[in-house]
Protein backbone atom coordinates (compact mmCIF):
# COMPACT_ATOMS: atom_id res chain seq x y z
CA UNK A 1 0.00 0.00 0.00
CA UNK A 2 1.18 3.54 -0.54
CA UNK A 3 0.78 6.03 2.26
CA UNK A 4 1.18 9.77 2.09
CA UNK A 5 2.68 11.90 4.84
CA UNK A 6 1.07 15.23 5.54
CA UNK A 7 4.20 16.89 4.11
CA UNK A 8 3.44 15.48 0.62
CA UNK A 9 6.17 12.89 0.88
CA UNK A 10 5.09 9.73 -0.90
CA UNK A 11 5.27 6.56 1.20
CA UNK A 12 5.40 3.26 -0.68
CA UNK A 13 5.13 -0.15 0.94
CA UNK A 14 5.78 -3.55 -0.52
CA UNK A 15 6.51 -7.06 0.66
CA UNK A 16 9.32 -9.44 -0.22
CA UNK A 17 9.92 -13.05 0.82
CA UNK A 18 13.47 -13.27 2.15
CA UNK A 19 15.41 -16.29 3.42
CA UNK A 20 14.40 -15.22 6.96
CA UNK A 21 10.72 -14.76 6.16
CA UNK A 22 8.42 -12.10 4.82
CA UNK A 23 9.66 -8.53 4.97
CA UNK A 24 7.63 -5.35 4.68
CA UNK A 25 9.59 -2.59 3.04
CA UNK A 26 8.69 1.08 3.29
CA UNK A 27 10.34 3.78 1.22
CA UNK A 28 9.68 7.49 1.08
CA UNK A 29 10.08 9.66 -1.96
CA UNK A 30 10.19 13.39 -1.35
CA UNK A 31 8.91 15.94 -3.90
CA UNK A 32 12.43 16.29 -5.38
CA UNK A 33 12.56 12.53 -6.05
CA UNK A 34 14.98 11.67 -3.23
CA UNK A 35 14.36 8.06 -2.14
CA UNK A 36 15.08 6.68 1.34
CA UNK A 37 14.19 3.52 3.21
CA UNK A 38 11.89 4.38 6.12
CA UNK A 39 11.07 0.88 7.28
CA UNK A 40 12.17 -2.72 6.89
CA UNK A 41 10.20 -4.97 9.20
CA UNK A 42 9.55 -8.64 9.60
CA UNK A 43 5.97 -9.03 8.43
CA UNK A 44 4.51 -9.77 11.86
CA UNK A 45 6.22 -6.76 13.47
CA UNK A 46 5.24 -4.02 11.04
CA UNK A 47 3.60 -0.92 12.50
CA UNK A 48 1.78 1.63 10.34
CA UNK A 49 2.42 5.19 11.49
CA UNK A 50 -0.87 6.55 12.84
CA UNK A 51 -0.45 9.99 11.26
CA UNK A 52 -0.43 8.61 7.69
CA UNK A 53 -3.37 7.62 5.58
CA UNK A 54 -3.75 4.96 2.92
CA UNK A 55 -4.38 6.47 -0.51
CA UNK A 56 -3.42 3.78 -3.07
CA UNK A 57 -2.89 0.05 -3.15
CA UNK A 58 0.33 -1.69 -2.25
CA UNK A 59 2.88 -2.02 -5.06
CA UNK A 60 4.73 -5.12 -6.18
CA UNK A 61 8.40 -4.59 -5.36
CA UNK A 62 9.39 -5.31 -8.97
CA UNK A 63 7.10 -2.59 -10.34
CA UNK A 64 8.69 0.35 -8.53
CA UNK A 65 12.33 1.28 -9.13
CA UNK A 66 12.84 2.51 -5.58
CA UNK A 67 11.67 -0.77 -4.02
CA UNK A 68 13.28 -2.88 -6.74
CA UNK A 69 16.76 -1.49 -6.09
CA UNK A 70 16.36 -2.03 -2.33
CA UNK A 71 15.21 -5.63 -2.78
CA UNK A 72 18.10 -6.26 -5.17
CA UNK A 73 20.51 -5.10 -2.45
CA UNK A 74 18.82 -7.45 0.03
CA UNK A 75 19.02 -10.32 -2.47
CA UNK A 76 22.73 -9.64 -2.89
CA UNK A 77 23.20 -9.53 0.90
CA UNK A 78 21.55 -12.93 1.31
CA UNK A 79 23.54 -14.33 -1.64
CA UNK A 80 26.76 -13.30 0.10
CA UNK A 81 27.60 -10.33 -2.10
CA UNK A 82 26.30 -7.16 -0.47
CA UNK A 83 28.20 -6.23 2.68
CA UNK A 84 27.42 -2.52 2.85
CA UNK A 85 23.98 -1.23 1.95
CA UNK A 86 23.92 1.82 -0.28
CA UNK A 87 20.25 2.56 0.29
CA UNK A 88 19.89 5.72 2.32
CA UNK A 89 17.69 5.64 5.40
CA UNK A 90 15.14 8.06 6.79
CA UNK A 91 14.91 7.92 10.56
CA UNK A 92 11.98 9.30 12.51
CA UNK A 93 12.98 9.00 16.12
CA UNK A 94 14.39 11.05 18.93
CA UNK A 95 17.88 12.49 18.64
CA UNK A 96 19.11 9.72 20.94
CA UNK A 97 17.43 6.98 18.88
CA UNK A 98 18.82 8.43 15.65
CA UNK A 99 22.33 8.46 17.17
CA UNK A 100 21.96 4.82 18.22
CA UNK A 101 20.68 3.79 14.79
CA UNK A 102 23.56 5.58 13.06
CA UNK A 103 25.97 3.78 15.41
CA UNK A 104 24.42 0.49 14.31
CA UNK A 105 25.03 1.39 10.67
CA UNK A 106 28.73 1.75 11.47
CA UNK A 107 29.09 -1.86 12.70
CA UNK A 108 30.95 -3.64 9.89
CA UNK A 109 29.57 -6.74 8.22
CA UNK A 110 30.72 -9.85 10.05
CA UNK A 111 31.35 -8.07 13.34
CA UNK A 112 29.33 -7.54 16.50
CA UNK A 113 29.18 -4.93 19.24
CA UNK A 114 27.71 -5.11 22.71
CA UNK A 115 24.97 -2.89 24.06
CA UNK A 116 27.62 -1.34 26.34
CA UNK A 117 29.87 -0.58 23.37
CA UNK A 118 27.01 1.14 21.54
CA UNK A 119 26.27 3.19 24.68
CA UNK A 120 29.94 4.27 24.73
CA UNK A 121 29.89 5.12 21.01
CA UNK A 122 26.86 7.41 21.40
CA UNK A 123 28.42 9.11 24.41
CA UNK A 124 26.01 7.69 26.99
CA UNK A 125 27.98 4.94 28.78
CA UNK A 126 25.51 4.81 31.67
CA UNK A 127 22.50 4.34 29.41
CA UNK A 128 22.84 0.73 28.32
CA UNK A 129 19.15 -0.03 28.88
CA UNK A 130 18.09 3.07 26.95
CA UNK A 131 20.38 1.94 24.13
CA UNK A 132 18.69 -1.47 24.20
CA UNK A 133 15.29 0.19 24.01
CA UNK A 134 16.37 2.35 21.05
CA UNK A 135 17.79 -0.70 19.29
CA UNK A 136 14.50 -2.52 19.88
CA UNK A 137 12.69 0.32 18.11
CA UNK A 138 14.97 0.26 15.06
CA UNK A 139 12.59 0.73 12.11
CA UNK A 140 14.98 -0.56 9.44
CA UNK A 141 16.02 -4.10 10.30
CA UNK A 142 18.95 -5.74 8.45
CA UNK A 143 20.04 -2.51 6.71
CA UNK A 144 20.46 -0.87 10.11
CA UNK A 145 22.01 -4.02 11.56
CA UNK A 146 20.60 -4.32 15.06
CA UNK A 147 21.18 -8.06 14.71
CA UNK A 148 24.92 -7.33 15.15
CA UNK A 149 24.42 -6.26 18.76
CA UNK A 150 24.93 -8.96 21.39
CA UNK A 151 25.00 -9.11 25.18
CA UNK A 152 28.28 -8.34 26.96
CA UNK A 153 28.80 -12.08 27.46
CA UNK A 154 28.57 -12.58 23.69
CA UNK A 155 25.24 -14.42 23.80
CA UNK A 156 22.26 -13.49 21.69
CA UNK A 157 19.80 -11.13 23.31
CA UNK A 158 16.75 -9.33 22.01
CA UNK A 159 15.67 -8.99 18.39
CA UNK A 160 12.25 -7.89 17.15
CA UNK A 161 12.33 -10.60 14.51
CA UNK A 162 13.13 -13.29 17.07
CA UNK A 163 16.38 -14.87 18.17
CA UNK A 164 16.26 -17.55 15.44
CA UNK A 165 16.35 -14.85 12.78
CA UNK A 166 19.14 -13.03 14.60
CA UNK A 167 21.10 -16.29 14.77
CA UNK A 168 20.48 -16.87 11.05
CA UNK A 169 21.70 -13.39 10.09
CA UNK A 170 24.83 -13.63 12.26
CA UNK A 171 25.61 -17.16 11.03
CA UNK A 172 25.15 -15.94 7.45
CA UNK A 173 27.58 -13.06 7.98
CA UNK A 174 30.09 -15.34 9.74
CA UNK A 175 30.00 -17.81 6.85
CA UNK A 176 30.36 -15.12 4.19
CA UNK A 177 33.24 -13.45 6.05
CA UNK A 178 35.00 -16.77 6.73
CA UNK A 179 34.50 -16.82 10.50
CA UNK A 180 33.37 -19.67 12.70
CA UNK A 181 30.75 -17.77 14.71
CA UNK A 182 29.91 -14.20 15.76
CA UNK A 183 28.32 -15.03 19.12
CA UNK A 184 28.54 -17.64 21.89
Angle between helix 95-105 and helix 128-136 axes, rounded to 10 deg = 80
Backbone angles phi, psi at 27, to 5 degrees: -125, 150
Instruction: Give the span between the Cα atoms of 97 and 119, in whole angstroms.
Output: 11
Does the annotation count 146 as an active-site position? yes
Pair 15, 25: CB distance under 8 Å: yes
Instruction: Give the span between the Cα atoms of 141 and 67, in whole angstroms.
Output: 15
Which listed residue (37, 64, 89, 146) is catalytic?
146
The set of catalytic residues is 146
Amino acid sequence: MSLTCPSSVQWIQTEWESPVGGLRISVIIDPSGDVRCAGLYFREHHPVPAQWRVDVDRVDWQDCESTKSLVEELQSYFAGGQRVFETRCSFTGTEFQNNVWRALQAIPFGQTRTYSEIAEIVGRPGSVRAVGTAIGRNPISIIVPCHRVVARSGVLAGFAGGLERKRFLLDHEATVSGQARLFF
